[in-house]
Amino acid sequence: MFSADLLANAVVAGVLLGGFYAAVAIGLAIVFGQLDIVNIAHPAFVIVGAFTAYILNSRFGFDPVLVGLLAAPVFFIAGVLLYRIYFIAFERTGQESLSGLAFFFGVMFIIEVSLIMAYGVDYRLVQADYIGRVWSIGFVDFPLRMLVPFSVSALLTAGIYLYLSRTFLGSAIQAVAQDRLALQLMGADPVRIKQWAFGLGIATAAIAGSLLIIIGPVEPSVGRQYIGRAFAIVVLGGMGSIPGMFIAALILGIVESMVSTFAGPSWSPAVAFGVLALTLALRPAGLFGRT
């Protein structure tokens, strides 16, 4: 059962998988980690991204990654609109805790059911010539359907990281979370900053979705499995720290890959929640958070 090449392949598969998880979690790291908005509908937007890639790929043969990039601005606008509703109905009246949570739960449900009504519960997939190819180094396999998402996700993470740390708007977003006074001194309107950041978070879901459907076939309710993963990664990564989030994503990917290699894939959904529960119980500030 246990062998070196099995282990090496499990680790590599885990790193590639974890890298992709970062793309799903990064939007939540901004929205939940930095803005404190509990958007549990985020994975549902990822699924919408996956279906967008499926539609444009099957109809016009567009490359899924390209579709993700093209769809991102549309997702951005959808995110801005969603935040407007959330702000007017909950944040402004100070009811974000209970009602806000239920609101996003409802949004998630509406998205999922709408997709089921439009496309049924069948698995959908995309075509691209790199899907199915495998690069091998020694006995370790690098399937391109994993390597491409990993690379795009790493680029996305690096891009967001640079954006947040190097640009005016990026630092304004971080100020919303940490330092209201600094934000006022910068002369920025917190609501507009949050709106922008929320849009950005949802825009990443378009790209994450296109990567998801490159990795494997997707059906509407797959999103639910990513709620636990995304939250586990954001919490483990220290709420809003982008590098912390990326490392946490790799850790989760490796642990899941190990569990599914050595215990069976049916156990892997519980891994993320196990990690999440342990983190919350033992070290709520995450691995890289300030205590």
Partner 1 sequence: MKSTVFWGALATIFAAGLALTGVVQNEYYYNALYLILQGTLMAVAWNVLGGFTGYVNFGSAGFFALGAYTTVALNKALGLPLPLLILVAGVVGGLVGVGLGYLTLRLKGVYFAIATLAMSIVIETLVVNWSYVGGAKGSYMLTPDTHLWFDSYIQMLFVVMLLLTLAAVAISRMLNSSRLGRGLSAIRDDEVAAECAGVPTLRLKLVSTSVMGAMMGVAGAPFPYFVTFVDPLSAFNLFIAVNAIAMPMIGGTAHWIGPVIGALLLGTTQEIVKVTISSEMNVLIVGVMLVAFITLAPQGIVGLARKLRRGRPK
Q: Which chain residues interact with partner 1 by CB under 8 A? A: 38, 40, 85, 89, 93, 95, 97-99, 101-103, 105-107, 109-110, 112-114, 116-117, 221, 224, 227-228, 231, 235, 264, 266-267, 269-270, 273-274, 276-277, 280-281, 284
Nearest approach, Cβ of 247 to partner 1 (angstroms)?
Answer: 21
Amino acid in the structure at residue 23: A
Nearer to partner 1, 108 or 205 (CB): 108
Nearer to partner 1, 1 or 98 (CB): 98
Nearest approach, Cβ of 267 to partner 1 (angstroms)?
Answer: 6
Written as six digits, the tokens of 135 are 């690069």
Please check whether residue 284 is in contact with residue 61, taking contact to mean a CB–CB distance below 8 angstroms. no
Q: Where do runs of H (alpha helix) occur along 237-287?
A: 242-262, 268-282
Please check whether residue 210 is in contact with residue 118, taking contact to mean a CB–CB distance below 8 angstroms. no
Nearer to partner 1, 31 or 207 (CB): 31
Q: Where are the beta strands (DSSP E) in the chain?
A: 134-137, 140-143
Amino acid in the structure at residue 37: I
Nearest approach, Cβ of 89 to partner 1 (angstroms)?
Answer: 4
Nearer to partner 1, 120 or 243 (CB): 120
Nearer to partner 1, 159 or 265 (CB): 265
Please check whether residue 181 is in contact with residue 18, taking contact to mean a CB–CB distance below 8 angstroms. no
What is the spatial distance between Cα 93 and Cα 202, in angstroms, rounded to a whole number? Answer: 23
Amino acid in the structure at residue 147: L
Nearest approach, Cβ of 183 to partner 1 (angstroms)?
Answer: 23
Nearest approach, Cβ of 284 to partner 1 (angstroms)?
Answer: 7
